[in-house]
Amino acid sequence: MDTLTAWRNMREVCIVGVGLHKFGRWPDKRVEDTGREAILAALEDAGADFRDMQAGFCGRVFNPEGTGQRVFGEIGESGILIDNVEKACASSSTAVRIATWAIGAGLYDVCLCVGVEKMQRGLVGAIPEGMESRASYAQLMGLGIMPAQYALGARRHMKEYGTTPEMFAQVAVKNHQNSTMNPYAQYQTAFTLEEVLNVRMIADPLTLYQCSPTTDGASAAVVCAKEVAHRFQDKPITIAGWASGTPEYQSVGIGGDVSEGMVARLADECYERAGVGPQDVDVAQVHDAFSSGEILAIEECGFCPTGEGGRFIWEGKADIGGQLPVNTDGGLESRGHPQGATGIAQLTEIVRQLRGEAGPRQVPGNPKVGLTHNVGVGGCQMFILTR
């Protein structure tokens, strides 16, 4: 039995409730607090009670063992299965995929998924103070910092396809503009292209506004079998396809988050499982931890030919009013990036778009098919959602 056939034989699964805790800096809130608020919002959205939930999955990265047990424990202690899920920045989307498999297989009817994170400020990968003797070679020699990885991908794209620093900057202009209409986003300030280009350089060509921040926040989703969805929501959104994987061996490459073919391979699997193609996608959320990530993802998801991602952005095709709106809620760069919570936040925006509930961010034309692309340190989790 191959995965595609097995997926087609599974029950239809949908998302019937979504909720967020505003992303930002919440020094006085624990993940138990932000998680509780996101869960209560998702339950209310679904018209559901915690006692309806038959299993719980908690995506988180830096928070320790037992995080899910404590977060769900804020709401109830009903004896259900609770798993903690980690795939770095793709943890909570992975939590949803595990729930999808469990429901699709007929093991459960209704599951609750939550993503939480509380993060330190500053560069991920820095040497903690007083720990210099434990610092690795890579840390001492200034290597291995996350912006550098994405910048290396940007530089090759510039060399191979003529993509310009202005095109990468335009991703940030678009996403920061979109987030002014998103009350849950960490940042709600629009910037001009000149402002994005001239602000502090982090790792060339990526300037400060092109880098996602460190963030506290939480997101939650109620996932259920289609056959019981009517109990919760008159606009259930179907999880039509999914794909997850890691990069295949290559003898020379940037590695990590920078896909050099991995996302294209997984996108093909995701489309095949969903029974749609890239031309059918009406709205997308891609992993713009740094602006260059969005341009590379647009190409590998098949929204435009390889090498044309920069022009796609530059010509406004990924704007809310454009051919294929991308990151309508501000993306990682502006909505923020609490690593454990980002995955379900992406799904939340697609659900709202497909329901027609995205307010001033609403993609016109009655979108029916959405895609999410979420990357985590070499792993990737993608979904196709449909109405």
Partner 1 sequence: MSEATTEKKRLPLRPAGFRVPEDPKAEPYIIAARCRNCGQFFGAGRVLCLNCGKQDMEEFAYKGTGKLYSYTVVHQQLPGALVKIPYAVAIVAMDEGGQVTTPITEDLESLDVGMEMEVYFETMQVDAEGNERIAYKFRPVKKG
Please report how close the Cβ of residue 23 comes to partner 1 at its closest, in angstroms: 22
Q: Is 270 a catalytic residue?
A: no
CB of 54: closest distance to partner 1 in angstroms? 40
Choice between 18 and 151, CB closer to partner 1: 151
Q: Which is nearer to partner 1, 202 or 326 (CB)?
A: 202
Nearest-approach distance from CB 302 to partner 1, in angstroms: 24
Terminus-to-terminus CA distance in the chain, angstroms? Answer: 28
Of 160 and 357, CB closest to partner 1: 160
Between 250 and 279, name the residue whose CB sits nearer to partner 1.
Answer: 250
Structure tokens, 289: 């931890």
- Residue nearer to partner 1 on the CB measure, 68 or 310: 310
CA pair distance 335, 216, nearest whole angstrom: 11
The active-site residue out of 21, 337, 373, 380 is: 337
Contact 328, 175 (CB under 8 A): no
Catalytic, out of 89, 211, 304, 380: 89
User: Is 337 annotated as catalytic?
Assistant: yes
Please report how close the Cβ of residue 205 comes to partner 1 at its closest, in angstroms: 8
Binding site for partner 1 (CB under 8 A): 122-123, 125-127, 129, 131-132, 135-145, 147-148, 151-156, 159, 200-206, 249, 251-254
Residue with tokens 């391979």: 265
CB 152, min distance to partner 1, A: 4
Question: What are the residue numbers of the active site?
Answer: 89, 337
